């Protein structure tokens, strides 16, 4: 969890340097202030607004319960003043300040108990809380751990209250690590939290920022620190304020009721992310799902070398992982702009827990949680892409998770055309002969040709990861095609696939593709036995939108029964924009 005031620490220093004492920096319930305000009146308005906000939180907690002996857990660095309010004995309060020391006179003992929420979760025996209050502008990747922690520490029918900033309007591309409000509500519901109250204080948060901006303006030159610091802080506040004004950013207080009664099924399932398991924990799930042995080396190549992501579902009683939805990131050229995509892979659900295929299924829960965290206009990855089988694609489309943007086809080349006699080619060992400059130059020309399309990076760094670092790198053949001057015109990566030469990747200019394909045919026809092939046939798997570009007189087309999906669950580029735009080949698959 991230403190909402983490970037406001400088203003606290400014206030202290002016002899105005300490101030807890969080949003307050502030009405619009006048244009002309003194430093003193601005600080008074900020403090009064914060006090009103804490009173609101206190009244919310008290109003939720009847009777006495309530146990409340406060989590957040600015909640010390609220912890002090619970002195009447009817509420037992614990406070996790997240490492932020709370100062009080030595002769006065606090009325609350200092705790660590993470340590409480680890304890075998823990007294369940009636209410947990969490402060913070949390990151999207923190949502799941916060929800899980609250689920563990709350009693049945307890209340979770969270307040902080979230993303509201995410209808355009601005990458942020802020949590999305819609995703927060959806995730909470999936694990047994029912939204009870939603108090929107975005307007008051904006007014707090206006007051802080005015305060910085009034105190300019009075602070001993750097003026650049103040200017940076003013710019930061202005940007956040503008986000509030266009409803991109929201500030609210959210109260949830917790209980297994809110779940139709999977009440004993806990969801986790990549750090919650070891690869071996997935071996039986993998083997039951794909009917092939789990390969630790291949798993490490796929997930350890990259900033991979995943969501898992674990049976709480047995500790066994029963569902997994993984993803591997990919740098892409998105209509000429550099972007980040993610390729969902290793989607698995234990057969015996596939109770249904609707929105209460484990598949839907892990898939939708993954998409909300990882893909969309506000997420780290703008796009998702993959190669699901037709059954998974139909199910995902019916559930509103995916839409199709293209299909994967096979092009078969059965006889050699007349080659370009100015070209010559040779198989080279990538470990010895890869020249980064040449390959990157070839990729630059290819990227320029695909500036009106979407294509994954095929530079030296990617090719080195994809093929050289692959645990079975020896199965890939690298064919370098040059002109008579020795200039690299094309690079083709091939694999013996069931006795046939399968083109995994072609790197080169579009204008050279036909000549490159003809040269590959010539090489295979002349060397097919040396290559360990059973025929002279060549196959190329590619998105259907490019079949005209790759067509030769001898080509035979076959539908592979694979649709190329895009995310349709949360806000992102529409499928109509993406239709036919992807250049994908067999090398983009994670399992070849």
CATH number of the domain bearing residue 126: 3.40.50.150
d(CA 32, CA 45): 10
256 and 286 belong to one structural domain = no
Cross-strand partners of 114: 95
Domain boundary among 206, 231, 260: 260
User: What one-character DSSP code corresponds to residue 535?
Assistant: S
Rounded CA separation 64/61 (Å):
5
User: Whole-model pTM above 0.85?
Assistant: yes
**Do 278 and 253 lie in a common domain?**
no
Question: Cα angle vertex 187, ends 183, 191, to 5°?
Answer: 170
Report in angstroms the alpha-carbon separations of 243 from 169, 175, 493: 9, 13, 47
Whether 295 maps to a domain, the answer reads yes
Q: Is residue 403 part of a domain?
A: no
Looking at the fold, whether 351 and 416 belong to one and the same domain comes out as no
SS3 string, 265-326, reads CCCCEEEECHHHCCHHHHHHHHHHHHCCCCCHHHHHHHHCCCCCEEEEEEECCCCCEEEEEE
Q: Is residue 404 part of a domain?
A: no
Do 120 and 86 share a domain, yes or no? yes
| 131 & 212 share domain | yes
Q: Are 134 and 147 in contact (CB under 8 A)?
A: no
Residues 255 and 278 in one domain: no
Q: What is the DSSP secondary-structure string of 433-456?
A: H--HHHHHHHHHHHHHHTTTSEEE
Q: Which position has the token pair 């005031």?
A: 5
Beta-sheet pairing, 454-456 with 113-114: unpaired
Does residue 405 lie in a domain region?
A: no
Q: Based on the fold, state whether residues 372 and 471 are members of the same structural domain.
A: no
**In total, how many domains does the chain have?**
3
Q: How far apart are alpha carbons 416 and 100 in whole angstroms?
A: 73
User: Does residue 550 contact residue 515 with C-beta atoms inside 8 Å?
Assistant: no
With a CB cutoff of 8 Å and minimum separation 6, the contacts of 274 are 303, 308, 309, 310
Residue 34 lies in a domain: yes
- 201 and 235 share a domain? yes
Cβ-contact 123, 142 below 8 angstroms:
no
How many Å apart are CA 214 and CA 38, to the nearest integer?
9
Distance CA 384, CA 397 (A): 14
- Tally of residues, the chain: 592
Strand partners, 327: 309, 344
Pairing status of strand 402-413 against strand 538-543: antiparallel
Same domain as 415, residue 330: no
Q: Is residue 117 part of a domain?
A: yes
Q: Are 244 and 206 in contact (CB under 8 A)?
A: yes
Q: At what angle do helices 202-218 and 9-17 cross, to 10 degrees?
A: 40
Range of the domain at 321: 269-384
- pLDDT values of the chain reduced to their tens digit, one per residue, 592 residues: 333 444 444 566 666 666 665 555 568 888 776 555 677 788 888 888 888 888 888 888 878 776 667 899 999 888 888 888 876 667 888 999 887 655 544 445 566 888 888 888 887 657 689 999 999 888 899 999 999 999 999 999 999 999 999 999 999 999 999 999 999 999 999 999 999 999 999 999 999 888 888 888 887 766 665 667 778 888 888 999 999 999 999 999 999 999 888 888 888 999 999 988 999 999 999 999 999 999 999 999 999 888 999 999 999 999 999 999 999 999 999 999 999 999 999 999 999 888 778 999 999 999 999 999 999 999 999 999 999 999 999 999 999 999 999 999 999 998 666 777 778 888 887 766 667 899 999 999 999 999 999 999 999 999 999 999 999 999 999 999 999 999 999 999 999 999 999 999 999 999 999 999 999 999 999 999 999 999 999 999 999 999 999 999 889 999 999 999 999 999 999 999 999 999 999 999 998 8
Render 197-260 in DSSP notation, one character per residue. EEEE-HHHHHHHHHHHHHHHHHTTTTSSS-HHHHHHHHHHHHHHHHHHHTTSEEEEEEEEEE-G
Round to whole Å and give the CA distance between 285 and 303.
17
Helices (H), 399-512: 430-433, 436-449, 460-463
Does residue 498 fall inside a structural domain?
Answer: yes
Residue 28, domain member (yes or no): yes
> Which residues lie across from 348 on neighbouring strands?
324
* Same domain for 166 and 25: yes
Same domain? For 291 and 331 the reply is: yes
296: domain CATH number is 3.40.630.30
Are 21 and 144 within one domain? Answer: yes
């Amino acid at each position: 969890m991230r403190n909402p005031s983490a970037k406001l620490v400088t203003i606290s220093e400014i206030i202290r340097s002016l002899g105005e004492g300490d101030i807890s920096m969080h949003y307050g319930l502030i009405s619009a202030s006048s244009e002309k305000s003194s430093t003193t009146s601005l600080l008074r308005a900020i403090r009064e607004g914060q006090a009103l906000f804490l009173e609101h939180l206190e009244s919310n907690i008290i109003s939720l319960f009847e009777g006495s002996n309530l146990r409340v857990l406060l989590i957040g660095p600015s909640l010390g003043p609220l912890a002090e309010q619970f002195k009447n004995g009817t509420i037992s309060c614990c406070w996790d300040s997240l490492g932020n020391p709370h100062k009080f006179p030595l002769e006065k003992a606090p009325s609350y108990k200092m705790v660590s929420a993470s340590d409480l979760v680890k304890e075998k025996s823990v007294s369940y809380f009636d209410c947990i209050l969490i402060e913070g502008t949390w990151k999207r990747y923190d949502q799941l751990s916060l929800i899980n922690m609250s689920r563990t520490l709350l009693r049945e029918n307890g209340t979770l209250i969270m307040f902080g900033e979230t993303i509201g309007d995410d209808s355009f591309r601005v990458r942020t690590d802020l949590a999305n409000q819609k995703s927060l509500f959806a995730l909470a519901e999936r694990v047994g939290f029912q939204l009870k109250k939603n108090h929107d204080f975005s307007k008051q948060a904006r007014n707090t920022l206006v007051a802080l901006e005015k305060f910085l303006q009034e105190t300019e030159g009075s602070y001993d620190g750097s003026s650049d610091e103040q200017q940076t802080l003013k710019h930061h506040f202005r940007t956040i304020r503008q986000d509030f004004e266009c409803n991109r950013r929201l500030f609210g207080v959210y109260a949830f009721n917790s209980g297994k009664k809110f779940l139709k099924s999977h009440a004993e399932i806990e969801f986790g992310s990549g750090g919650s398991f070891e690869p071996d924990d997935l071996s039986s799930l993998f083997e039951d799902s794909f009917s092939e042995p789990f390969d630790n080396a291949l798993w490490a190549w796929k997930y350890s070398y990259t900033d991979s992501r995943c969501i898992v579902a674990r049976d709480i009683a047995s500790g066994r992982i029963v569902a997994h939805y993984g993803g591997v990131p990919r740098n892409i050229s998105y209509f000429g702009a550099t972007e980040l995509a993610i390729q969902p892979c290793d989607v698995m659900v234990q057969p015996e827990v596939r109770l249904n295929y609707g929105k209460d299924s484990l598949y839907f829960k892990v898939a939708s949680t993954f998409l909300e965290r990882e893909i969309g206009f506000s997420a780290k990855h703008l796009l998702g892409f993959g190669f699901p089988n037709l059954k998974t694609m139909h199910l995902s489309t019916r559930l509103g998770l995916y839409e199709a943007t293209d299909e994967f086809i096979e092009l078969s080349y059965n006889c050699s055309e007349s080659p370009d006699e100015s070209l010559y080619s040779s198989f080279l060992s990538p470990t010895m002969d890869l020249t980064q400059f040449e390959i990157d130059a070839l990729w630059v020309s290819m990227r320029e040709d695909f500036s009106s399309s979407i294509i994954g990076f095929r530079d030296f760094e990617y090719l080195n990861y994809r093929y050289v670092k692959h645990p079975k790198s020896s199965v890939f053949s690298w064919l370098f095609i040059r002109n008579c001057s020795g200039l690299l015109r094309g690079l083709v990566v091939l694999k013996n696939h069931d006795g046939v030469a399968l083109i995994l990747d072609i790197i080169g200019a579009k204008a050279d593709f036909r000549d490159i394909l003809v040269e590959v045919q010539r090489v295979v026809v002349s060397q097919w036995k040396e290559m360990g092939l059973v025929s002279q046939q060549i196959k190329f798997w590619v998105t259907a939108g490019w079949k005209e570009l790759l067509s030769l007189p001898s080509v035979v087309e076959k539908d592979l029964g694979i649709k190329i999906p895009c995310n349709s669950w949360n806000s992102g580029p529409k499928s109509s924009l993406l239709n036919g735009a992807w250049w994908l080949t067999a090398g983009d698959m994670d399992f070849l």
